[in-house]
Amino acid sequence: MNHTTFAPRLLTWFATHGRHDLPWQYHHADTSDIYAVWLSEIMLQQTQVATVLGYFGRFMDTFPTVQDLANADWDNVASLWAGLGYYARARNLHAGAKQVADYIATHGHFPQTIGEWQNVRGVGRSTAGAIVAMGVRGRGVICDGNVKRVLTRWAGIDGDITKSATDKVLWELADTLTPTHDSGKFAQAMMDLGATVCTRPRPACTSCPLSDDCTAHKNGNPTAYPVKAKKADKPHRHSLVFALMYDDKLLWIKRQSGTGTGIWDGLYALPMLMINDKQSDVPHDLHYAKTMHDKYTHAQNPSLAESQVLDNLPNIAINHPKTIKHTLTHFHWHLSLVEINIDKTLYDNINHALTAIHADFVWQKGCDGLGVPKAMGKLVG
């Protein structure tokens, strides 16, 4: 392996074959937009470029500066993020924007160092390195999933990448290979190589500028890297989702912290009740559904607002509900939609109960304009 020529080969390849037209890229310009680089790095976590493009454009149109984002109402942020998933990113981004806006108000400029960026909510080591390298234009080292795949194959690193010892080796190698100058272009080139050439299932080794001294290519086993311990199968969870309809409008409740579904905190959702781990086992009525919930050891308790709604509902029949499967980081969630048309008396009772506990709720047709989880959009779409 030739460490000395690694960066020159990669940068030569990037000049011809890399991506140069993404709206958050500034390596071809005299100045960069640190805010845009930061926003793109957060959006690109666990998400494909093609998916991010539309969201990025809408965010920049609505919140063109970090101050605009910091001053924005959370509901507006959540509405723009709806469907992108991993909603903790949006909450952290919004909180981080407030931190950065305060920093700028005090210092007159964006944070400049990796350490300063790591103090910003939701910004980890690799993201901080990317922001410094591509936004601040200092020296920043990145070691995200794409980079780890490239490095483990090139260097033949066969340690489990989920282990701290292997992670340490990879960061040290990434630091060694990152040039002092052009670390922004180098970072972008590494990410592009991993995303377009050194891909997970079908690496295009014949198109790779590093193949001449790549250990995995020489050994004919690039897909054996990176080594990662097999994860246990995800468990299944099953919840009833109640679409309460009055005057063609649905009841949406904003989920607050402590509801048991932190991934959806701050978003609007239909009331839910977790009942079991078998999607095929659907209760015949609401009374039996509550019994199933009480007996289900893995059940997440409904929020106070959901409990108020469920307590006001009569013992309705549940017949062949529409069910979707929504996969999250830690489990597969089967969501069965129970549609209920309610009368004026029940509508008034539910409104009174929710208002009494200061719940944040709204009745509206569909979910347009609300920050709702993608799964909810699927159910009512």
User: pLDDT tens for residues 197-216?
Assistant: 999 999 999 999 999 999 99
In whole angstroms, what is the distance from residue 7 CA to residue 113 CA?
23
How far apart CA 84 and CA 336 sit, in angstroms, is: 22
Tell me which amino acid residue 49 is: V
pTM as predicted = 0.89
User: Which residues are registered as beta bridge partners of 249?
Assistant: 246
Report the Cα–Cα distance between both ends of the chain, in Å, rounded.
53
Lowest mean pLDDT among 14-18, 61-65, 229-233: 229-233
Q: Residues 95-116: what's their mean pLDDT?
A: 98
Beta bridge partners of 244: 340
**Helix intervals (H) in 178-285:** 183-196, 215-219
CATH code for the domain defined by 3-224: 1.10.340.30
For residues 270-284, one letter each, b for 16 or more C-beta atoms within 10 angstroms of the residue's C-beta and e for the rest, the string is bbbbbbbbebeebbe
Q: Which residues contact 31 (CB under 8 A, 6 or more apart)?
A: none
pLDDT in tens, 304-324: 999 999 999 999 999 989 999
pLDDT at position 298 is: 84
What's the rounded Cα separation, in Å, for the pair 325 and 79? 22
Residue at token pair 């790779």: 208
**DSSP 8-state code for residue 253:** E
Instruction: Decide: 133 and 186 in contact? Cβ < 8 Å.
Output: yes
* pLDDT tens-digit readout, 270-283: 999 999 987 677 89
Q: Over the chain, what is the mean pLDDT?
A: 94
For residues 109 and 12, the answer to whether their CB atoms sit within 8 Å is: no
CB contact at 8 A, 346 and 360: no
From residue 62, give the alpha-carbon distance in Å to each of 19, 56, 76, 84, 181: 25, 10, 9, 16, 34
- In sequence order, what are the beta bridge partners of 243? 339
Share above pLDDT 70 across residues of the chain, in percent, rounded to a whole number: 98
> With bands split at pLDDT 50, 70 and 90, how would you rate the model's confidence at 256?
confident
Comparison of pLDDT for 47 and 300, the residue scoring more: 47
pLDDT, position 304: 92
Distance CA 94, CA 96 (A): 5
pLDDT at residue 202 in the model: 94
- Flag whether pLDDT at 261 surpasses 70: no
Task: Return the pLDDT at 257.
Answer: 62
Residue 232 confidence (pLDDT) above 90: no
Q: What is the CA radius of gyration of the chain?
A: 24
Region 34-63 average pLDDT: 97
The CATH T-level fold of domain 236-380 is Nucleoside Triphosphate Pyrophosphohydrolase (3.90.79)
**Residue 116 catalytic?**
no
Residue 177 has pLDDT above 80, yes or no: yes
- Separation between Cα atoms, residue 149 and residue 203, nearest integer Å: 10
**Helix extents (H) in 328-373:** 344-356
> Quick check: 137 pLDDT over 80?
yes
State the average pLDDT over residues 327-333: 90
Distance CA 5, CA 75 (A): 49
260 has pLDDT over 60 = no
Q: Which of 41, 172, 306, 339 is catalytic?
A: 41
331 — phi, psi (to 5°)?
-165, 160
CB 296 within 8 A of CB 275: yes
DSSP per residue, 181-245? SSHHHHHHHHHHHHHHTS-SSS--GGG-TTGGG-HHHHHT-GGG-S--PPPPPPPEEEEEEEEEE
Query: Whole-angstrom Cα distance, residue 78 to residue 328?
Result: 18
**Nearest-angstrom CA–CA distance, 20 and 26:** 9
pLDDT at 230: 86
Asked if 3-224 and 236-380 have one fold, the answer is no
Domain boundaries, the chain: 3-224, 236-380
Provide the token pair at 337: 């939609």
